[in-house]
Structure 1
Amino acid sequence: MVGGNMVIICQYGGEFVTNSDGNLNYNNGEAHAIDISCDVSFDELKSEITSICNIDLNGMSLKYFLPNNRRTLITISSDKDLRRMVNFNANSGPTEVFIMNKVDIRAPRSTVADSGTSVIAAAEAAHGVRRKRLTAGGRSSRGKVAESANPIAANNVAIVNVNNGMSIKVDNRPVTVGVIMENIMEPRPSIAHHMDERTNGGILAEPNIFGSLPMLDTVRPINAKTLSDTIITGVGQEFDNVRDFRAQLCKYAIGKGFAYKFIKNETSRVTARCVEENCPWRIHASESSRKQKFVIKKMNYTHTCGGGNGRGGHSRASRPWLISIIKEKLHEAPQCKPKDIVREVYEDFGVTVTYSQVWRGREVAQKELYNTLTEVYRQLPWFRERILETNPRSVATLMPSHDSKLCRFFLSFYASLYGFEQGCRPLLFLGRVPLKANTDCKLLVAAGIDGDDAIFPVAFSVVEDETYSSWVWFLTELRFALSTSRIITFVSDRKKGLEQAVPQVFEDNYHSYCLHHLIEDFKEELKNGPWSQQVKDALVDDFIRAAQACTPEEFNGCLQNIRNASTDLADWVITTKPENWSDALFKGSRYDHFSSNILDSLNNWIPVKHESSIVQMLDSIRGKLMEVMHSRREASGTWASTLTPSMEQKLHTELAKTHRLDVLCSSDTIYEVRGDTIYVVNTGSCECTCRRWQISGLPCIHALAALNRVGRSFYDYCSKYFTTEMYHLAYSASIQPIPDVERIYLNNNGDYYPPSNRRPPGRPRRKRINPNKTTTVIRLCSRCKMAGHNKATCEALL
């Protein structure tokens, strides 16, 4: 600010892009510098902007950022607002003022059409009512729209499509039905991107029997940009699998209006960039370390090619994409008409489709939805009844929703419940089993650990999504199924609402956080620091030792090492609630299990071909669980040791380390064990001051040295859950087969993924053959005049 004046930079015509840190950057557009007086009025400011920038501010709003805050835009609508802007930015140099369109959220979404023509009519005009014949070059011209054939692009007019008798305002001007507002926005040049999937390093897409779905190169609906912003949000966003990521990336590109090609397109990593050579837009996603999520690792949001502003990007609008959109529309409104879908597809994505394309896609979508509803209301109730008949005292709960969009199914066999309560430790791992092909539902699981440290599945649940609500429902059903009164320790990644759901449903139990996920979060925090890779590895080791520390002194020592490197990093460790993941502070019993990685063994239990059906998926789990329980029961019959094989091996490994320890007897139960440090062992209460005995359930080396000193049996001081007897109890019950379940498999083979009904090659017959028509003409032999043969085969003597 110089001499009572201030400089403002007026920007318009661009768009805001959110960075990974949440700050907003304004890209593209035009900018003008204006020198104004500090006591200028709001009307005078608008007049100055209008004269210099040559734009009409009616229907526009002025916004600015506060100093050091580029996340929230502040609106200027009066003289008071202008005074505040001057005061806030008095000492911050030139002030940026952004000129933006006002959006009335109460108004219906607008569509673009020519004079007196709806979007459907425009789409029919763009594609042609009939399919054009092959061109001279032998290729069909279907799917390409010339600019002259697009009446909407030629006239550059906008019409508001509302119900009869209604009127709304556009740019603060009243608009009634059928009235065309010309020159509301300036025409934009057409940008078309045509790509060949076979040459860009990507996989060959499914043949598009609909043809291309061209987008009108006119005004882009505002809600299309808003919708695409919610599809791809940025670095750290998680997807179920690579197929889900590719599908969402396709929707994002279509909504944003740009085309991309793959640099790497594999099942474990995907890298894509804009098709324009000099455009910096790029995205990279890969599997997480646990291979249960597909995560965006890097993303450059900037487009310099004109993409991302609502033009182009429709080359991937294929048949599968349209069917997925139609299914979402039918989920929301089952009676939605094709003409409404045509309008909404354009409004949401800026893609113009014809009525016939939507009609054909709607038939396929309705068939898939019908198969889903058939399973929910016919097959799943039948499957539930058969489970309860063949496996009494099992728990099977089906909860279809009131709007028929989804269902929840909880399943826990009596053999699993009995085995967990009688022979397994009170320890449950919560998580989701990733599905490779099915992205419409999620499979939640609760599993325990048997005496030989092998996974012991307890309950499964199919839900519509992994959210706080679905976890509360699953845990509520699990609490009803478990009749035990034991205090249970739960281990989970604490995400997707688990951190709040577990203590809400199981109030008096313990919840431990998965150490593996915490380490990944800790490594993300390390990326913000200036440390070398060697220092980062040392800090990760300190974090792991802090989790495995048995005493508060050991935990504090590890935390101090982290604090010496960074106070902020140590403060972050404290905010993660160490009382839920460090052995030194955790009050429950985890038996040396720090993470939920054990659930990864369930990933291969379900064949991909059975994921499309909930019944087949759950029956695959039943069959696998029945086989596993039988094989483990048969194998344990030959065990002669007191403990299970894995625990027996652990005990002997620790016993070999006791020869260098000295033991002093204080009483019949109190012993002093000397090594590098002095520890006190109490065999009466099964405690040692190192706390390893209490945490693991097996005697530590100090306890083993004391027991060996007095000649007592080690097995009497091991947890009962590690004995062979308890292992036999865990697998004493059996899961019974369901004899007639194959009927579901036969009925579902051709229903869930119907083959495409393609027309046979060649020209269609002019006169169709009627197989039911009887032949009335009797053909006679021309030689003997008899029926049943001809002249060549005639044997009559003449």
Structure 2
Amino acid sequence: MENLTKKGIKWKPKSTFGKSNYWKRHYVVYGHDGSLNIEAVIEHWFGVCTHFVVDVVVKQNLGADTWIQSNNQSVSGTLTPRRPSELDNFEIDDEVDLLQTFCPHNDKVFMSESWASGITHIGQHFKDGAAEFRNMLRKYVNEHTCGVAVRTSTNRLVGSDLVADIMVKRIRDKPLTRPTEVILDIKQDYSLDITYRVAWLGVEKATGELFGAHSISFDQLWWYSVVVMEHNLGSYVTLEHDEHTHWFTKYFISFKACIDGFTHCRPLFFLDVTFLKGCFKRFLLAATAKDDNQAFAVVDSENTTNWSWFLQNLAHVLNGDRPLTFISDKNARLLEAMPTVFLNAEHAFCLQHLQRNLRDRLRYTNSMHRARLVNKLRHYAYAPTVTALNDKLEQFHKSGRGVTSEFLATTPPQHWANAFFRGRRYGEMCSNAAESFNSWIREARNLPVTRMVNSIRAKIMRQMSKRRDPSQSWTGTICPKIESRLEKTFNKGRSWRVSQSNVDVYKVHSFPSVTVNIGTQTRSCFQWQLNGFPCAHAMVAVRKSGRDLNDLVAYFHVSEYRSTYVVSIFPIPTMEQLPFDLHNYLINPPVVKCPPGRPKKKRILSRGEHV
């Protein structure tokens, strides 16, 4: 549009409304070529809008007639002719241009750029009636002209709806957009100041529009479970809710590709729990394999009952024929639930969490002394033999006095010290995989529960595809990284002499000397048993025996790696999702008592983590 002008029109009443309290105001928008005029007449009585008449005037300068439509309720329909002379009863003031032509923001892209296409052609219909036409009318400007008279940093028309309209694309790409970031963006892009509440409401409205409401998301889980079983046949899904109140209680899911991947990856699983950040405050229990295969569940709280329920469902998707090893953060409720489900599995504690707990107990001691004790605990955990462990343990007791004795009494060493642990940790002393998974889904934890589950599915799907494709070009028997690691380990023991005792037992003359049993894949220093990977002593013993080294690293074969990711996770088409029906509401959202104050979205760290 070339310009925007405003005409003030005062009404001369003929009878009952009074001369000073009833008036009309006439707005006209002119097209740049004179081909399109839009007129609106608003009647006011005692300062209140009582009647709204919209006249759409479409003029064609090529000799066509003038067309006007007038309708108090809607502006959609067939245009009917009307003479412009009917508006001659109004006294029209001189045209006054309220917007100056000077604009210092010529190099910026304004919101009006996308609004110019709101009114496009003759006979255009507006589905929402007068409300949609008024919205298009006030936005029908394709040239931004602002002068000193309207250059202000605040505008009462900039509300949460407009903020949601502007920020919806950014929130789609970044669900964790903060209101403070929205305030800065609006200020930088449009030179407007908005309050924190307006920004927060705008983010909430945009999030609800993009991802749906949290309250109806629990009811969508039953539809999602059915679709998962159709498109990913063989998946394991369990959905539980209260039979009387229909409140949501628990949800467990593991996809077919992950279940098959558990069979070919190392039997080592990391257990952890993280809280969800939606308005219903659920908890996410997860079992993460070393090769990124997942099984997870949504529960109402972290207690022994829920951990037992989770482990029982996990037992259905794991191969129980192999000895399993679980690593966790010494969760007391998990310790109670683990022996009731996995009787023969080994349970190890994360060394990083133990170090934090020790720091917490030593928070009032000297920082240098505290650091030395934490370092000694690490050496204590890595000691491979009981003899070496007892040596370090004596030093640990002397340095820590009563604090270390109390710490060791509450932390059984068979769960974290290599000398006493009889399972296979495959070199993993910490639950890094579980912490990586929690960080991986950090943004998804803010979404409604169905959206969150689908977001995690999409992440696993992309990760498995990313690992599957490169492996197709591998030509060796062992994975490239493991092959390079084996070569370095072999070169380390080239100079050692080896003596044979029988077909399986060999003695490696290193300092100190070590006994290796190739048949049972054991070593006198227990490194082979703990790591599940041949060390330098085992490598030279295998070379002396003439056996094939590939038979000793079965989990690192290229064939096993490909088998872990051979099954794909298929997408879930949301076009099949049924619209929400209040009368067909099967699962109600759980009842949550909101505590006072702003909801906390960050985990409360222990004191040891701040040291």
TM-score by length of 2: 0.57
Task: Name the CA distance, whole Å, in 2 between partners of 1:410 and 1:534.
Answer: 46
Cα 1:438–1:372 change in 2 (3 A) is closer
Q: Which amino acid aligns with 2:293?
A: F
Distance 1:485 1:669 in 2: 26
Equivalent in 209, 213, 216 of residue 374 of structure 1? 216
- Check the 8 A contact 2:252/2:313 in 1, yes or no: yes
Q: State how far apart, in whole Å, the 2-side matches of 1:601 and 1:632 are.
A: 17
Deviations 1:340-362 (A, max 9, x none): xxxxxxxxxxxxxxxxxxxxxxx
Q: Distance in 2 between matches of 1:410 and 1:433?
A: 15
Q: Is the 1:545–1:558 Cα contact (8 Å) retained in structure 2?
A: yes
Per-residue CA deviations over 1:665-721 (Å, capped at 9, x if unaligned) read 333332221222121112222221111111111211111122233444332323x11
- Decide whether the 8 Å contact of 1:562 with 1:570 is kept in 2: no
Q: 1:444 corresponds to which residue? A: 285
> C-alpha distance in 1, partners of 2:579/2:281?
20
Query: Hey, what does 2:524 align to over in structure 1?
Result: 689
Structure-2 residue corresponding to 1:456? 293
Helix, strand or coil at the partner of 1:392? coil
Instruction: List per-residue Cα deviations over 1:272-319 (Å, max 9, x = no partner).
Output: xxxxxxxxxxxxxxxxxxxxxxxxxxxxxxxxxxxxxxxxxxxxxx99
Partner SS state of residue 656, structure 1: helix
AA aligned to 2:258 is S
Kindly indicate whether the alpha-carbon contact (under 8 Å) linking 2:284 and 2:297 is maintained by their aligned counterparts in 1. Answer: yes
Does residue 585 (structure 1) correspond to residue 420 (structure 2)? The answer is yes
State which of 494, 502, 509 in structure 2 corresponds to 1:674: 509
| Partner residue, 2:97 | none
CA RMSD of aligned residues (A): 4.0
Code of the residue aligned with 2:229 in structure 1: it is: L
Deviation at 1:388, TM superposition (A): 0.8
Equivalent position of 2:458 in the other structure:
623
Distance 1:741 1:429, change over 3 A: farther
Alpha-carbon offset, residue 473 of structure 1: 1.8
Distance (Å, rounded) in 1 between the aligned partners of 2:545 and 2:341? 46
Equivalent residue number for residue 548 of structure 1: 382
Gapped regions of structure 2 (runs ≥ 5): 1-158, 161-175, 182-196, 201-211, 582-588, 590-611
Q: Supply the distance in 2 between the matched residues of 1:710 and 1:381 (Cα, whole angstroms).
A: 58
Matches within 5 A, 1:167-186: none
Structure 1: gaps (5+ residues): 1-206, 209-242, 244-264, 267-317, 322-369, 753-798
1:739 to 545, 554, 573: 573
Q: Secondary structure at the match of 2:390?
A: helix
What is the TM-score when the length of structure 1 is the normalising length? 0.45
CA deviations 1:232-253 (Å, max 9, x no partner) are xxxxxxxxxxx9xxxxxxxxxx
One-letter code aligned to 1:548? Y
Aligned to 1:538: 372
Classify the secondary structure of the residue corresponding to 1:398.
strand
Measured in 2, the distance between the counterparts of 1:609 and 1:510 equals 31
Change (3 A) 1:635 1:705: same
The answer for the alignment partner of 1:430 in structure 2 is 271
Q: Distance in 1 between matches of 2:284 and 2:247?
A: 17
Q: How does 1:579-728 map to 2 (within 5 A)?
A: 579-603=414-438, 605-606=440-441, 608=443, 611-718=446-553, 720-728=554-562
Shift in alpha-carbon separation, 1:560–1:438, aligned structure 2, 3 A: farther
DSSP-derived class of the 1:563 partner:
helix
Q: How does 1:50-449 map to 2 (within 5 A)?
A: 371-377=213-219, 379-401=220-242, 402-421=244-263, 423-433=264-274, 435=276, 440-449=281-290
Moved more, 439-448 or 401-410: 401-410
Instruction: Give the structure 1 partner of residue 310 of structure 2.
Output: 474
1:468 Cα shift? 2.3
| Residue aligned with 1:544, SS | helix
Query: In structure 2, how many angstroms separate the alpha carbons of the residues matched to 1:711 and 1:554?
Result: 32
What is the CA–CA distance in structure 2 between the aligned matches of 1:678 and 1:609, rounded to whole Å?
52
The counterpart of 2:362, out of the listed 520, 523, 526, is 526
Report percent identity of matched pairs. 33
Contact 2:262 2:318 in 1 (8 A): no
Q: Which residue does 2:349 correspond to in 1?
A: 513
The letter of the residue matching 2:526 is: R
Q: Larger relative CO (CA 8 A, sep 6+): 1 or 2?
A: 2
Cα distance in structure 2, aligned partners of 1:611 and 1:508: 37
Counterpart of 1:717, as a letter, is L
* CA shift for structure 1 position 438: 6.0
2: CA distance, partners of 1:558 / 1:526: 19
Shift of 1:578: 0.7
Distance 1:663 1:483 in 2: 38
Contact in 2 for aligned 1:424/1:449 (Cα 8 Å): yes
Larger fraction in helix? 2
Q: Deviations over 1:160-182 (max 9, x none)?
A: xxxxxxxxxxxxxxxxxxxxxxx
Q: Indicate conservation of the 8 Å contact 1:428/1:447, yes or no.
A: yes
CA distance in 1, matches of 2:578, 2:303: 30
Q: C-alpha separation between the residues in 2 aligned to 1:674 and 1:741?
A: 68
Query: Aligned with 2:218: secondary structure?
Result: helix
Tell me the CA shift for residue 383 of structure 1. 0.7
Q: What letter is aligned with 2:341?
A: V
Q: CA deviation at 1:590?
A: 1.1
> 1:747-792 CA distances to partner (integer Å, 9 max, x unpaired)?
9xxxx9xxxxxxxxxxxxxxxxxxxxxxxxxxxxxxxxxxxxxxxx
